[in-house]
Structure 1
Amino acid sequence: MDWIYLIIAGLFEMAGVVSINRLHKKKNWQSLLFLLVTFGGSFLFLSLAMKTLPMGTAYAIWTGIGASGGAILGMMFYNEPKDWKRLFFITLIIAAAVGIKLIS
């Protein structure tokens, strides 16, 4: 269950990254509320995962999901660059997260 919590935390982190962009574009209370809920959910599920997972492993996977997912969502929905170098390094982040999972 701890790995499921960690994946949910990462998905909330991805939504939190999107909510920063949303708040930047629309400075209203709904955008702020979305930001607070998404990052709140992210920290809640991260803390649940860390009850059994080592801190270093949980944090590395959580940030990897958030960073790579945020970059991918930016490319999909906000017309951020999609060049091969960017995709290569996102792949490295994901590969590192999978590698950490495999050795944990």
Structure 2
Amino acid sequence: MSWIILVLAGFGEVVGVIGIQKVNEKRTWKSFSVLVGGFGVSFLLLSLAMREIPMGTAYAVWTGIGTAGGALAGMLLFGEPKQWIRVLFISMILSAAIGLKLLA
């Protein structure tokens, strides 16, 4: 269950990053709400997951999901370049996170 919570925490971080981009585009209550809500949920879920998952592993997986998810969101939602090399390195980040899960 803690791994599911950790993955949800990573998705919350992606929502927070999308909120940052929205705030940069237009400063509205909605964009600030997405930013604060995404990161708030993310940190809460991360702290819950860390009750059972070692800190180093949890943090590495959380940041990996956030990094990969943020890059994918940038490509899919905000018109960032979709170069094959970016996709390759995003895949490597996700592979590392899966590897940590298999070891924990």
TM-score if structure 2 supplies the norm length?
0.96
CA deviation after TM superposition for structure 1 residue 30, in Å: 2.1
Partner of 2:80: 80
Corresponding position: 1:38 with 2:38: yes
Give the secondary-structure state (helix, strand or coil) at the position aligned to 1:39.
helix
Counting only pairs closer than 5 Å after superposition, residues 29-68 of structure 1 correspond to structure 2 as: 29-68=29-68
Partner of 2:22: 22
Write the deviation string for residues 33-89 of structure 1: whole angstroms up to 9, x where unpaired: 221111000000000000111000000000010000110111111111111111111
Q: Identity percentage over the alignment?
A: 52
- Gap regions ≥5 residues in structure 1: none
Whole-angstrom CA distance in 2 between matches of 1:28 and 1:73: 20
Whole-angstrom CA distance in 1 between matches of 2:34 and 2:102: 33
Whole-angstrom CA distance in 2 between matches of 1:34 and 1:16: 6
Give the secondary-structure state (helix, strand or coil) at the position aligned to 2:38.
helix
For the aligned residue pairs, the C-alpha RMSD in angstroms reads: 0.8
Aligned residues: 104
Whole-angstrom CA distance in 1 between matches of 2:56 and 2:47: 13
Whole-angstrom CA distance in 2 between matches of 1:87 and 1:9: 22
Runs of 4+ in 1 over 2 A off after TM superposition: none
Partner of 2:3: 3
The one-letter code of the counterpart of 1:40 is G
CA deviation after TM superposition for structure 1 residue 32, in Å: 1.2
The one-letter code of the counterpart of 2:22 is R
Partner of 1:95: 95
